[in-house]
Amino acid sequence: MRVLVAYSSKYGATRGIADRIADRLRDAGHEVDIEHCHDVEYPEGFDAFVIGSAAYLGKWRKEARRFVRHNHALLATRPVWLFSSGPLGTERIDKDGNDVLVAAQPKEFPEFEALIHPRGTTVFFGALDIEHLEGPDRIVSWMPANEALPAGDFRDWDAIDEWGRMVAADLAEQDA
Ligand SMILES: Cc1cc2nc3c(=O)[nH]c(=O)nc-3n(C[C@H](O)[C@H](O)[C@H](O)COP(=O)(O)O)c2cc1C
């Protein structure tokens, strides 16, 4: 299977997740390209897609939203998985008793589920380096500590590897 891992990442955390998923797919013998959503020129050349974006203010980044909406007719005919990178910190349950990863689903997932029927969607913990924030994002570094997004790398590589292997196995089954 020729798989495209298409991602949108502002500061690199999501790119790292996309790379890791691509590695798990390659381990299983799939042919994998990895491209920024903005740079994909010929999506028709791929048999399957993993599409991921960082979430900002509850939404996927513009290039990723555009990629899905623009290519929805093609994507609806191929196996597709979506992942989002976002929540920060080590708590799995928030102060209201909700699962942090469920609560952090980007606004677009219900729309995309109806539009392209992905075989799976998931949310991974992300990473934030306050020192490197640019433009309006720097407001985070001026916020009081109890209101700020916690800084650090919270990416759960075991969960990412597990998901990548699950996608690889599902693809292999379809190819058989
Ligand atoms: C200004 C700002 C807003 C954010 N908003 C959200 C959000 O609404 N939901 C979420 O899950 N994560 C949010 N995050 C965390 C980022 O999604 C997380 O740091 C992500 O892993 C960054 O990925 P990137 O480096 O690929 O851009 C926000 C981060 C910043 C700096």
115 inside domain: yes
Is residue 55 in some structural domain?
A: yes
- Percentage of the chain modeled with pLDDT above 90: 87
Whether 68 is covered by a domain: the verdict is: yes
State if residue 106 touches ligand 1 by the CB under 6 angstroms criterion: no
> What is the model's pLDDT at position 104?
96
The domain that holds 140 is classified in CATH as 3.40.50.360
In a domain, 47, yes or no: yes
Establish if 127 belongs to a structural domain: yes
Find the 55 Cα to ligand 1 centroid distance in Å.
5
The two beta strands, 48-56 and 59-60, are antiparallel
Question: 72, 116 in Cβ contact below 8 A?
Answer: yes
Total domain count, the chain: 1
Model confidence over 97-113: pLDDT tens digits? Answer: 999 999 999 999 999 99
Atom of ligand 1 nearest to the CA of 136: 1
Instruction: Compute the distance from residue 22 Cα to the ligand 1 centre, in Å.
Output: 22
| 149 ligand 1 Cβ < 6 A | yes
Residue 146 in this model has a pLDDT that exceeds 70: no
Whether residue 12 has its Cβ less than 6 Å from ligand 1: yes
Cβ of residue 54 lying under 6 Å from some atom of ligand 1:
yes
Residue-averaged pLDDT of the chain: 95
Lowest model confidence (mean pLDDT) among 3-12, 114-123, 146-155, 166-175: 146-155
Domain that holds residue 159: 2-171
**Taking 90 as the threshold, does the pLDDT of residue 142 lie above it?**
no
Of ligand 1's atoms, which has the minimum distance to the CA of residue 55? 17
pLDDT exceeds 80 at position 128: yes
DSSP H helices, 76-132, are 100-103, 109-116
In a domain, 58, yes or no: yes
Residue nearest to atom 1 of ligand 1 (CA): 137
Q: Is 64 in the pocket of ligand 1 (CB under 6 A)?
A: no
Residue 176 in any domain: the answer is no
Is the pLDDT reported for residue 152 higher than 80? yes
The finding on whether 36 has its CB within 6 A of some atom of ligand 1 is no
Burial per residue of 93-120, b for 16 or more beta-carbon CB atoms within 10 angstroms, e otherwise: eeeeeeebbeebbbebbeebeeebebbe
Residue 148 lies in a domain: yes
The gap between the terminal CA atoms of the chain, to the nearest Å, is 10
